[in-house]
Amino acid sequence: MIVGSGDIGVLDPVWGPVLHADFRYKGQILDLGTFGGNNSLASDLNDRGQVVGGAENSEPDPWNLGGVTLGLPSPTAYHAFLWQAGKMRDLGTLGGPDSFAMAVNENGQATGFSFTNSVPNPTTGIPTIDPFFWDGSRMIDLGTLGGTFGLVGAVNNAGQVAGISFLAGDVIQHAFFWEGGVLTDVGTLGGDNSDLDWINNAGQVIGRADLADGTHHAFIWQKGVMTDLGTVGGDPCSNGHDINAQGQAVGTSTDCHGTILHSFLWENGSMVDLSSQVLPGSGFASVEPVAINDVGEIVANGTLLNGDVHAVVLKPCNSECGAPVTSSLSAASTPNRVPGNSKTALREEMPKSPLDRVRAQINQRYRMTGVGAPNQ
């Protein structure tokens, strides 16, 4: 089962092509529709076929959540939805005009973000955005770490939530962990900011955090303890992208400015240079891991020597291949030229403006790199 969004062949007078959330399974494509507005977007689904995202209704939206967060101008309001078996349920908001669901776990619990009111803040110029947890019947406001903007990154099957929040003043952001009504600041590695990408079912949070010298390293946080994963070789920076149920983590080791120098697999305290395992003879200049499943298979973006990008799958070697990690690389997409346009670059070149940082964070989480994202 795959969810996403597709052009339905109609032009929106504000944005352009009208996009509808869709559900794809066994060769069929289902249009999930909207709440009466033009556009809808799907973010995630679970193994039960429950889909979450955001859909426009017909109510005027003076704060243009779609334009602010996704780069898709929307004159009407978005509401978070949960779709199942042909029915789209409106999850409501936290008091403001808009909301958007980002993730759903296997129990049908969803997370996302919502305006809490319609009063703009002096730091961002938009109303307060808080992360929410939908428990199946009601939307719970998770609050923030003192700032006026919070965003959910992921939710696991235990109902534990990880995200990011501005601190008071809306200049510094920290990753957070939420469970049972308690919001915990994940902290940093001695610097100002931290960010996150995922939480596994063991409650391990992975992301990146600033060091005191201004660089940043990938980290894993669990039960109040933050582990610095380090970098590959002498690289100055690293980013954690995903972690599976076994605690295997993947990420990139970089120059701190968006250039991937190596990719890595971290396991049991050891960092393995994936680049040295999969690049020789593959025809790829770099591989950026996106996610790792529970059997150790890694999906990644592979950049060819000419700059084209293919989706690739890295499969662990069996006993016959003689390598400790992986050697199988398979291209799975049509080449797509995207020079200088990578998720890592977006993460590492965070805009200075609080509002631009909001846009950049949402684009990063929703994997809409290049749409409404500044300074790429």
What is the model's pLDDT at position 165?
Answer: 95
pLDDT at 362: 56
Nearest residue to 115 via CA among 100, 128, 102, 103:
128
Closest-CA residue to 246 (of 290, 208, 296, 318) = 296
Q: Is the Cβ–Cβ distance between 91 and 101 less than 8 Å?
A: yes
Q: 113-128 as b/e, with b when 16 or more CB fall inside 10 Å? A: bbbbeeeebebbebbb
Count CB neighbours of 196 within 10 A.
25
Q: How far apart are the first and last CA of the chain?
A: 32
Residue 308 has which token pair? 């084209």
Using an 8 Å Cβ cutoff, are 99 and 132 in contact?
A: yes
CB 274, CB 263: distance < 8 Å: yes
Element (H, E) at 344: helix 343-348
Reduced to 3 states (helix: H, G, I; strand: E, B; else coil), residue 303 is strand
How many C-alpha atoms does 174 have within 13 Å on its Cβ side? 22
pLDDT of residue 17: 87
Q: What is the pLDDT along the chain (376 residues), one digit of tens a residue?
A: 999 988 899 987 777 889 999 999 999 999 999 999 999 999 999 999 999 999 999 999 888 887 777 777 788 999 999 999 999 999 999 999 999 999 999 999 999 999 999 999 999 889 999 999 999 999 999 999 999 999 988 999 999 999 999 999 999 999 999 999 999 999 999 999 999 899 999 999 999 999 999 999 999 999 999 999 999 999 999 999 999 999 999 999 999 988 889 999 999 999 999 888 888 888 888 889 999 999 999 999 998 999 999 999 999 876 555 544 433 344 333 333 222 333 334 345 444 455 565 556 555 544 443 333 322 2
The 8-class DSSP code of residue 125 comes to: S
pLDDT at 112: 95
- CA–CA separation, 303 vs 242, rounded Å? 19
Nearest to 45 by CA among 77, 22, 20, 72: 22
Question: Which amino acid, 61?
Answer: D
User: How many Cα atoms are found within 13 Å in the side-chain-facing hemisphere of 158?
Assistant: 14
Edge-to-edge strands of the sheet including 237-243? 237-243, 249-254, 260-267, 270-273
pLDDT for 63 equals 87
Local structure of 70: helix, strand or coil = helix
**AA letter at 225:** V
3-state DSSP assignment of residue 216: strand
Q: E-assigned strands of 35-128?
A: 36-45, 51-60, 76-84, 87-90, 99-104, 110-115
